[in-house]
Every structure is written in structure tokens, then in C-alpha cells.
Amino acid sequence: MIPFNKPYFTGLETTYIKEAVSSGKISGDGIFSKKCHNFFEQKFQFSKVLLTTSCTDALEMAAILIDLKPGDEVIMPSYTFVSTANAFVLRGAKIIFADSHEDHPGIDESKIESLITEKTKAIVPVHYAGVACDMDFIMSVATKYNLFVIEDAAQAIDSYYKGKPLGSFGHLAAFSFHETKNIISGEGGLLVVNDERFMKRAEIIREKGTNRSAFFRGEVDKYGWVDVGSSFLPSDIIAAFLYAQLENLDTIQTRRKEIWKRYDDAFRGHLDVKFGVRLPYLPDSATNNAHMYYLVVQNAKERKALLAYLKKENILSVFHYLSLHKSKYYEPFHDNRNLVQSDHYSNCLIRLPLYYELTENEQKHIVDTIFAFYKGI
């Protein structure tokens, strides 16, 4: 069976974990957490980063940081992962879901302004498949209405918009190192704080509402309870694992991009032209970090048949995201607007296997199988 995803280990993870263990300090913010923080600050010029136990946690921290109150409204795409919305719903926010673009699953920026009311507090763009939203446009709308922007950059490590790394545009941004992402630590995440106003408080919220981080730096002589918060920081064992991955970021990215390009070279000009299958679209302003290769087929029936056909050939492809505005939990709160594109992606998008160790032969088998399916219908 060719799995949909296979976590890649660089080989140094266990070495670094042993180092972390023998250092005698395995709680949060140890040696490896610092190495990871430095890595992100140097490689991507993020001014302040904090490792978290997941992207979900980083988003929850963002919701606390912007002082979200019950009844506040947050605008985001409906075609996204549950956590994008749930992190804000936990603080009592009402989610105003926006539709996706016709030519790619990212939020349709042109719809945002009409959804803004006096209760709107934030916009949460999701860089779907690591492909940048139009951040110039989103930031200008946010400035005009005095809103916060929190980038859900879960899939967007090492991806750029007009030459600048994703995660550096919003007031805050959240990355994921879940084992299905490009760079992994099993579970794990990162909060990027771009707005200085949030830098001190982010540390406090992450440390159970205490000023322990400042205490460890010797800035205060004792630490105590100063704000709300939770335990959002990962153990240094997780950071050790993550650091082994980060050191190999370029190798991992190069490989993923090769695999991505092989799919694209095989399909473009054929599947799209002859069979009406839509292929990933990249705006000129965005780079490709090869997080995902997806196909958008014409209808749900075709998708079901293609997935079954692939499975019969021992290939595990998947789809994801059911429009959140139609989810069991959120449908009763949604304002009845139809989100046609979001539903279309929910019904018609397929993700193909893409992982470091996918061999050329395996990939050829996947490509051949997909062509065989289309020639047969």
C-alpha cells in the first residue's frame, strides 16, 4: 500500500532527544527550544517566536492575546481545519465564514470587506497548501477597519508572499509541526508575534499566566500569577525532535518540491485540458512550499470513484475539510449564506500521497493509475 503520508525522520531526532534528556532539563524552554527559536528568528527574520504544543494552541493563544470577547466576530474561510475556528469559538466569538476562490481554495479576499460589521475583531487568513493569501490586500482592509490579522500558517513553513516569509504579515501567526506537515515533531506548533504590543503578554499566557519567562531571564526576582494563561509550551524533548528536522529544512523542501513538480509535469496540459480536472493554482505573488498536491475533480461522484480506483491499486489518497459552516457543530450559528466554492472543494478535492520517501516508481504508479482511471470513463 502506498500511504497518503509517511513521517520522515532525519536520523538525528533520537540523538538530540538523548542530549536533551542528559542535559537534565526536559521541561519547556530548555536548550533545544532556544535553538528552535533562534532558527526561526534567523532563517525567517521573525522578531518573536514561541514554540507551542500545537498550531491549535498557538491559535488559542492568539485569541486570548487580541482580547476576544463573547459576541466579537472573526472572519475566516469555511474551507479549513476545525482548529482555525474552534480556537476563537472557545473565547465566545462568532465566526463569519467567507467563501474560497474559484481557482484555489484560499479565502476569496474580495468577499472580506462586505462581511465586516462593528463587531468584527479579526481576520484569519489560511495559507491553504502553503500558498499565500493576498496579504497586501488583507492587511490594507484590516488597517482600514482597525482589525487584527492572525495568519493560520499551519501548512505554510518556508513559503513566501512577494519575497517575504508567510507568518510575518499578520499581527500574529501560527504554524504546525503535526506529523502530516512538511516539518514535524509529532504534535507541535509555533506562535509568531509580529506586533510588539503582544510580545510580553504572549510569554505570560504561554506560562500559565505567570511571568516565569521574565524570572528565568533575571528580569524579576520572583514570579507569580499576573494574567490568564495556560500551559502552551512543549517539553524540550519535542523541541529536540523538531530541531533535527529544522536543520534539514532545505533538504526536506528540495525533495518535496521535486515530488510536487513530477506530479505537475505529468498532469498539467493533460488531466486539466482533457478531463476537466483542476490542478493547484499559484498566484504570481506566492511561492510553492510543496506541502500538498491536490486535484479538484468535477463532482463528488467522480471523486468517490477515483478514490476507490486508487485504493484498488493500493494507493491511499484522501480528501479533507468539510465546509465548517455546514458542520454539525457550527451550522446552527451560520447565517444561511451559501458558500459555493467552499462546498465545491469539500466535495471535489483529492490530496495525493506526498512525502519525502515516496519513490519515483511509486509516484509513476500513482500517475499511471490516475490516467488509467480517466481513460476508462
Nearer to ligand PLP, 6 or 270 (CB): 6
C-alpha distances in Å from residue 22, one per residue of 30, 91, 225, 238, 243: 12, 40, 31, 14, 16
CB of 57 to ligand PLP, least distance (A): 7
CB of 177 to ligand PLP, least distance (A): 7
* Beta bridge partners of residue 120, listed in sequence order: 73
Burial class (CB within 10 angstroms; exposed 0-12, middle 13-18, buried 19+) of 219: exposed
Sign of the Cα pseudo-torsion (76, 79, 80, 81, in order): positive
According to CB under 6 A, which one of 33, 78, 84, 253 is a site residue for ligand PLP?
84
CB of 279 to ligand PLP, least distance (A): 20
According to CB under 6 A, which one of 33, 54, 182, 194 is a site residue for ligand PLP?
54
DSSP per position, 178-220: -TTSSS--SS-EEEEE-SGGGHHHHHHHHBTTB-HHHHHTTSS
Residues numbered 310-369 forming contacts with ligand PLP, rule: CB under 6 A: none
Nearer to ligand PLP, 242 or 367 (CB): 242
According to CB under 6 A, which one of 37, 111, 171, 178 is a site residue for ligand PLP?
178
Q: Does 120 bind ligand PLP (CB under 6 A)?
A: no
Nearer to ligand PLP, 55 or 96 (CB): 55
* Beta bridge partners of residue 172, listed in sequence order: 150, 193
Angle at Cα 48 formed by Cα 245 and Cα 205, nearest 5°? 100
SS3 286: strand
Q: Does 56 bind ligand PLP (CB under 6 A)?
A: yes
CB of 84 to ligand PLP, least distance (A): 5
Q: Does 184 bind ligand PLP (CB under 6 A)?
A: no
Residues numbered 135-154 forming contacts with ligand PLP, rule: CB under 6 A: 152, 154
- Picking from 255, 219, 234, the residue whose alpha carbon sits closest to that of residue 20 is 234
Grid cell digits, residue 364:
509513476
Q: Which range touches ligand PLP (CB under 6 A), out of 53-61, 139-147, 282-290, 339-347?
A: 53-61
Q: Does 78 bind ligand PLP (CB under 6 A)?
A: no
What's the rounded Cα separation, in Å, for the pair 2 and 18? 32
Q: At which residue does the C-alpha cell 470513463 appear?
A: 377
Q: Does 81 bind ligand PLP (CB under 6 A)?
A: yes
Q: Which residues bind ligand PLP (CB under 6 A)?
A: 54-56, 80-81, 83-84, 126, 152, 154-155, 176, 178, 189
